[in-house]
Structure 1
Amino acid sequence: MCAPPPFGEQSPFGEKLPFGEKLRAELGSPRRARRLDSSPRSRVWRAELSGTPVAVVVVKQLTEGPEAAERYAREVAALRLASRVDPPVAPRLLGTDPAERVLVLEDLGEQPPADDWVIGYAESLARLHAATSPADIGLLPAWSGPTREDIDAFLGLAQTLGRTAPDGARTKPHEAVRTELDALVNRLAHAPGHALLHGDPCPGNDLHTASGVRFIDFEQAALGNGLMELAYLRIGFPTCWCATAPAQPLLNAAEAAYRTAWRQATGTDIQGDLTDACAGWLLRGDALVERAHRGTTDHLSELPHRDWRWGTATARQRLAHRLGIVAQMTTNGSELEHLGRLASAMRDAMLTRWPTLRPLPAQRPE
């Protein structure tokens, strides 16, 4: 077996920067590489370059693992699509080395988020979503929503909590809700839109800079309806370590900023139903655990027997918040009226069984 080719400068952690001859020829020679914090799925450095106007760059290498090649391809494709947006909403992609799954990005710098950070976040998210058109369909995978297996798991949890049907249902237990949820899953699967979805638009994947919010880490990017990610603000950042619940005035301002930015970028109003988007996230037990544990088990069935902390909140805190949001958003006469009643009853049951449950934090940690 041939030894791997030598890379660039040695990092302080005893690793060599994956900066091969292709990148050196295009961008110059790296020096003073420093390892940065990142997820287990990648290694990230900040380095200086000689012989180029771009003095400091970020070098990211996707590590070996499940779907590594697909994650790399998604990130490269999404960054190229996002580069259409001006002012920018993502770092510039300066170079790639597909053989080593390496990207070289401009270093943006960062400043602490303001107290009203969700407004700038939502505005940049809308402009990111507006980067693509129907002509781009196929350049990224289509967004995928909840499934009927998620419905079964959710209704199973309701039964465990002693809530077999919403108040006022005249049908067999769960039948009214199941009918609504079957229709919901079908609507989400056919939701209109070809927006450039980040895939994981979490606090930490948004950099707050002097020129606005920019997004990083597009490994899960997809095309779909932008409301699926605008819903993050209401439903508690479902795929994120940092789950928060902005105060209502900030939430209203952020959603208005999103809709205004979308309209300015596209000349149209966003299509779809935010209530459907939030209800879709409620169904997903995988949105109670970090990515490494998704797709492994029915997490909703575990929740009555044990709670677990992920980041800023526990699984029960996250679910209780989502149940409350869906209950608030669904009213008499809505397409999800029975779900709303059941969600309210399930939340009440959780608060009775676990009275010390606290709300999600209103702000991200410093």
Structure 2
Amino acid sequence: MELILRAAGELLDAELSGAVDLGGSPRSTVLRCETAGGRTVIVKAFGNEPDSLRCFTAEAAGLSLGIAGPEVLGVDPDVPLLVMADLGDAPTLADVLLGNDPAAAENGLLAWARGLGALAAESVNRRADLARLWSRYDKGMPSWEEDPWIARNAAALPALLDGAGIVLPAGLDEELARIGSAGGEEYPAFTPGDTCPDNNLLTAEGLRLIDFEAACYQSVFLTAAYCRMPFSSCWCVFTLPAGLAAEIEQAYRAEVVGAYPALAEDEVWQAGMRQATAVWTVDATVRLLPRIAEDGPLHRTRRPAPTRRQVLRHRWETASGLEEFPALAEAMRLLLRKVAAGWDVAPLPGYPAFANRRG
């Protein structure tokens, strides 16, 4: 802690005190600190493990792009750490979705979707800038764009299905090869990487994003799928009222069409969204299926939170109708019949904020 405060203070040429731990992660420590002048700043320090170092580079490069998130006040690549402007204690999107105000939740979702779409559109011509910034803060780790996580998940799925007693449907290997090829080259745009509800602040000035540890360029469809599924890789996953998922998806799409006019074509958009849904369903299955012997909440401390089995069953139900991927859809139906049928868990409920929503 002393090293972190001293290094951050040297960046600002100011003494820092009163550090409050904001939680961080296994990869990072996040502190709110006060300057002698009474201003507060956020200090985010990273460990020296390979994953932590890659997250530092992504955070430093992504925030320094200057098109989203808090202002960067200083970067020390040696510690490594960043000092950022403090955005205050505004509620997150997770806070309002898990609250009891349906209007606040709906407005928050629309602000989130429009904000992400505007960010994507604004970033289309800035990919070389992010690469330059990555080189500036490079700690010797490959960028997230170089990480073949989609192909790796696709390659891992058959063995997991076999282990669960699922006979692989004919044609699944070919479909997984197609799914594994999805990534950042089809309509790429910038993303902070983790756009889950608890990383989106609803401030008086509008949506502000935090957590750029996986910042990269990826297909806009991989981001837009968070509207449809919803929140493809997150813990804060419940169901949305009828029509609202489509409304927030359209809000995102309306922004990115300005950068990619071809996305106004329904055939292009729907095909891309179905492929992204397949990518994230494979991701969820690979991550969670090995962990369902004992069910449990997806978040260690936040409540309410869905269980692993609830989310997996919801993902499998969603993907069971993917027409472009009939073999994958059949595999999902087999998982529902042969694996999920034995789970004694309630269906995935709706977001608490919409429990009393009218219409």
Same fold (TM over 0.5): yes
What CA deviation, in whole Å up to 9, does each residue of 1:82-130 have, x standing for no partner?
A: x23xxxx411112222222221111112135322122211111112223
Distance 1:65 1:286 in 2: 27
Does residue 281 (structure 1) correspond to residue 275 (structure 2)? The answer is: no
Secondary structure, in 3 states, of the residue corresponding to 1:60?
Answer: strand
Separation in 1, partners of 2:146, 2:111: 24
| Partner in structure 2 of residue 314 of structure 1 | 307
Partner amino acid for 1:252? A
1:206 equivalenced with 2:200 (yes/no)? yes
Question: Which position in structure 2 is the counterpart of 1:136?
Answer: 127
Query: Which fold has the larger relative contact order, with Cα–Cα distance below 8 Å and residues 6 or more apart in sequence?
Result: 2
2:115 is matched with: 124
Q: Note the alpha carbon deviations across 1:294-351, whole angstroms, 9 max, x for none.
A: xxxxx53453x443432222222221111111124x23xxx21332233234224344
TM-score with structure 2 length normalisation?
0.77
1:71 to 55, 61, 74: 55
Q: Distance in 1 between matches of 2:39 and 2:71?
A: 14
Q: Is the 8 A contact 2:187 2:219 kept in 1?
A: yes
Quote the Cα distance in structure 1 between the aligned partners of 2:183 and 2:41: 39
Aligned-pair distance for 1:254?
0.7
**Corresponding pairs, count:** 319
> What whole-Å deviation, never above 9, does each CA across 1:126-165 have from its counterpart, x for those lacking one?
122234235524345316555555345434444555542x
Tell me the equivalent position of 2:173: 178
SS class of match (2:55) = helix
Distance between the aligned counterparts of 2:125 and 2:347, measured in 1? 43
User: Pick from 301, 318, 328: which aligns with 1:325?
Assistant: 318
Residue pair 1:193, 1:225 contacting (<8 A) in 2 also: yes
- Take 1:202 and 1:67, find their aligned partners in 2: how far apart are those partners? 20
Structure 2 vs 1, CA of residues 235 and 189 (structure 1 numbering), >3 Å: closer, same or farther? Answer: same
Residue number in structure 1 paired with 2:86 = 107
- Aligned equivalents of 2:146 and 2:279: distance in 1? 12
Spell out, residue by residue over 1:255-293, the C-alpha distance to the aligned partner (whole angstroms, 9 max, x if none): 0110112234x26354760111111111125764xxxxx
So what's the TM-score if we normalise by structure 1? 0.76
Whole-angstrom distance in 1 between the partners of 2:312 and 2:146 = 22
| Structure-2 change in CA distance of 1:129 and 1:145 (3 Å) | farther
Query: Which one-letter code corresponds to 1:127 in the other structure?
Result: A
1:144 and 1:189 in contact (8 A); partners too: no
Distance 2:352 2:115 in 1: 19
CA distance in 1, matches of 2:126, 2:195: 24
- The code of the aligned residue for 2:153 comes to D
User: Are residues 1:37 and 2:23 paired?
Assistant: yes
RMSD of the alignment, in Å?
Answer: 3.0
- SS at 1:207 equivalent: strand
Q: Identify the residue that residue 255 of structure 2 maps to in structure 1.
A: 261
| Residues 364, 20 of structure 1: alpha-carbon distance in 2 compared, 3 angstrom cutoff | same
2:338 aligned residue: 349
Which has a greater percent of helix? 2
Asked if structure 1 preserves the Cα contact closer than 8 Å seen for 2:187 and 2:260, the reply is: no
Change in 2 beyond 3 A, CA 1:157/1:43: closer
Letter in 1 for 2:5: L
Distance 1:145 1:364 in 2: 37
- Unaligned runs of 5+ residues in structure 2 are 97-103, 135-142, 300-304, 355-359
Larger-Rg structure:
1
The code of the aligned residue for 1:48 comes to E
Amino acid at match of 2:157: F
Q: In 1, distance between residues paired with 2:55 and 2:154?
A: 28
Q: Pick from 154, 157, 167 the counterpart of residue 157 of structure 2.
A: 154
